[in-house]
Structure 1
Amino acid sequence: MRDKLAPVVLWFCAFSGILSSAVVQSETHEWALSEVCPAGFQEREGGCYLQSFYSGYKSLRESGVGGLKTGLPALREGFSAQQIDLGRLLFFDPLLSVDGDMACSSCHQPARGFSDGLGGSVGRHGEVMTRSAPTLWNVGFLRELFWDARADSLEEQMQGPLFSSIEMANTPENLLASLQQDANYPALFAQAFGEKPLSLEQVYTALTAFESSLVSLSSRYDLYANGFHEVLTQTEIEGMNVFRSFVARCAECHTPPAFTNQQIAVIGTPELEGMPRDPGVQAITGDASQRGGFRVPTLRNIELTAPYMHSGRFKTLRDAVAFYTGGRGHAVPEGEHLSLHWHIWEPDLADHELDLLVAFLKTLTDQSFMPVLPQKVPSGLKPVATEFLTY
């Protein structure tokens, strides 16, 4: 099967830009930013723009819920190759934290699908957070960020962990001074933004540019959706049919090709043993109907990002999909009143159907456009979490 599919995969990847030199470039110049757009992107009018089969599908609903020929949400794009590459270096550089020991990649590790493999991320002094770190794959398509959707942009979102006293714990003033006084960063910012004074806004733009370049659209599912039907096994196709069915109703919230409808859903997932109910979006809006509500996450690379749910309550994909067939509100504790999302009901899926769902979800694994992971960063500090495991 591998030999049979090789020409198809090569053709698909070449179309998408995976053979771009940006993926295989070596850092031959001492801190010269790349002038080549990352894999999957093409330079146009001075910016990098995504090239994708899905770009030709204009309607998000033209094929119905879960249809194969639906379009993508708008992507944050148009950043220059230099801005993206600068963001890549900043992302892995612990200079961005107050003590020089944490980076963005501490909680968003390439080897774990740009999450961290924990139910609750760990803070600078070992504090365990109450929520897991979501994947950054396809984050540039999202309208709202954080589990509770409290940020409207990547620029706003990143300031949370950068300046949180229990995460990277920096201050805007110290972060700016650290970069301005570094031996290499001022010249790199000049390459990316021109001869303007180095500013925090440039830092946020560069990180946004890099994170928006983390696109995952070349999975075996994507090959199937775009006409190469032999790439999925019969078991995986049957799992996709369960996923899209009006019995399971998975695709109503995890709508392809983004595999999220970007809405808030109250599903009644249980908290970890002994933990209080996380109010979710209610804590932001004050709306009691949004108690326990969280942003619907993408399922892209879901195989790599265990444990699952906002608190990491389920260790395996099988456990996670089984939750949905347990009956409406079955995990809501007595005395807790949640306005469960309308699609949470009792599909009563059989064990073999749950296994089919898991098989299908694994076809969404794709890290073809993994960026070059720096083995050194401009600050001279040790880059964080630059290991990449092949699955």
Structure 2
Amino acid sequence: MEKRYSARALRRLAVALCLLWLPLPATVHAAGAEFSLKDYCPAGFQLNGEGCYLQSLYASYDSLQDSGVGGLKTGLPELRQGFSPRQIDLGRLLFFDPVLSGDHSMSCASCHDPNKGFSDGRALSVGSKGQLAKRSAPSLWNVGFLKRLFWDARASSLEEQMLGPLYDSHEMANTPEQLLTDLRASSAYRELFAQAFNGDSSIQLDQVYTAIAAFESSLISLNSRYDLYAHGYHEALNEAEIEGMNIFRSFVARCAECHTPPLFSHQQIAVIGTPEPNNRPLDPGVAAVTGDASQRGGFKVPSLRNIALTAPYMHSGRFATLREAAEFYTGGRGHAVPPGEKLSLHWHIWEPKLTGEELDRLVDFMGALTDESFMPQIPASVPSGLAPVVGVQ
């Protein structure tokens, strides 16, 4: 028999959940001050031995295989976790430090701005010399759950992924040699790496990658109003949002079949036939990596967590609003495929013929996936002595 809770008990549950997710107070380092890494885990994580592990009600739910597509009480995929508090905090400082770029003008946070859902608010990202990247910057919220990285899924780990932007001449334009030289020139960084890696102050590339991966894996967003609803507090969503959720999960719209809760992505490749902006040629997507012609125009299905914060949308930033992006899916199978292209469109892309009101409700529901309660602290200063960089300068 299903267990039912009173309204008062559900309210108490919601309050308890909010308290669980509140970030712990953090010390702000003034410019010029000595740096010392935190010895406690980020909010929502618990120290177990020497590693930090996520505490989430989703851990008590069954896997997707057991509960079906779109189920509210569905378990999460495996998270990259077990990093030490000091490794996570070192990664946080590195993430905002422009010393990681070749000309010291960009940080990871240039394209993954916490104030813009850890994306950059641009259709196409901009590199250190003002060059346009080929695609938009995806959000980093919940990136530690992902098994494939980049729009074309060419990386299988966070460490492998970061080699792209760090050393690409169109992005941060650094080299491994210069990166190590600059970090090793900082006595503050040598001390911090020793704190994070068992007294080893030599600073090695794999340590740099581990620290950044540790920080990125701590960027968890699982306390939206949708999550409160899923955990049993049904007053967390209003009528319009519940209606949108039901459309989202329906066999007509079929959104949940690719954007599967609770991550809101099934992490697979889909060819959906979105048009390129400004008459640009079709981006071959995954096919350029695999050589598989059936994957031409295919891209990794992104998570919808915090999607309301990360406009514009699609790999090329083609749609300025969520409403436009949702409307694309009801325009008819293949309606935007360029002449002469014969794409192997994903079988979920069909003709749902949603009304304008139904599209509005979908947008309402996607707005209920917003949660920034685990927002990390942006450092006031960084160990290189350079000014921290956040957003496109």
Instruction: Identify whether the pair has TM-score above 0.5, normalized to the shorter chain.
Output: yes
Return the match for 2:317 from 298, 312, 321: 312
Preserved contact between residue 92 and residue 386 of structure 1 (Cα < 8 Å): no
Structure 1 residue 51 corresponds to structure 2 residue 55: yes
- Structure 1 consecutive aligned stretches of length 4 or more whose deviation exceeds 3 Å: 5-10, 23-29
Code of the aligned partner of 1:37: C
Deviations 1:169-194 (A, max 9, x none): 11101101111111210000000001
Query: Partners of 1:93 and 1:10 in 2: how far apart?
Result: 36
Code of the aligned partner of 1:203: V
For these two proteins, the number of residue pairs brought into alignment is 381
Query: Partners of 2:104 and 2:262 in 1: how far apart?
Result: 38
Return the match for 1:195 from 192, 199, 202: 199
What SS is found at the alignment partner of 2:299? strand
What SS is found at the alignment partner of 2:246? helix
Return the match for 1:19 from 22, 26, 29: 22
Deviations 1:361-380 (A, max 9, x none): 00000000001110110111
- Higher mean C-alpha deviation, range 132-141 or range 49-58: 49-58
Query: Partners of 2:277 and 2:11 in 1: how far apart?
Result: 43
Structure 1 residue 96 corresponds to structure 2 residue 65: no
What SS is found at the alignment partner of 1:39? coil
Preserved contact between residue 374 and residue 386 of structure 1 (Cα < 8 Å): no
Length-normalised TM-score, structure 1: 0.95
Preserved contact between residue 265 and residue 296 of structure 1 (Cα < 8 Å): yes
Return the match for 1:165 from 162, 166, 169: 169
Structure 1 residue 137 corresponds to structure 2 residue 137: no
Return the match for 1:371 from 373, 376, 389: 376
Return the match for 2:342 from 319, 324, 337: 337
1:274, distance to aligned residue in structure 2 (A): 1.7
Code of the aligned partner of 2:42: P
Sequence identity (%): 66
Deviations 1:60-100 (A, max 9, x none): 23232100011000000000000000000000000011111
The alignment's C-alpha RMSD in Å is: 1.6
Return the match for 2:156 from 141, 149, 152: 152
What runs of 5+ residues in structure 1 fail to find an aligned partner? Answer: none
* 1:120 aligned partner: 124
* 1:259 aligned partner: 264
Query: Partners of 2:288 and 2:226 in 1: how far apart?
Result: 37
What runs of 5+ residues in structure 2 fail to find an aligned partner? Answer: 1-9
Return the match for 2:91 from 69, 82, 87: 87
Query: Partners of 1:50 and 1:193 in 2: how far apart?
Result: 21
Code of the aligned partner of 2:22: L
Q: Assess, with a 3 A threshold, how the Cα gap between structure 1 residues 205 and 240 changes in structure 2: closer, same or farther.
A: same
Query: Partners of 1:101 and 1:183 in 2: how far apart?
Result: 21
1:27, distance to aligned residue in structure 2 (A): 3.5
* 2:5 aligned partner: none
Query: Partners of 1:179 and 1:192 in 2: how far apart?
Result: 15
Query: Partners of 2:86 and 2:18 in 1: how far apart?
Result: 23
Preserved contact between residue 373 and residue 386 of structure 1 (Cα < 8 Å): no
Preserved contact between residue 113 and residue 137 of structure 1 (Cα < 8 Å): yes
Length-normalised TM-score, structure 2: 0.94
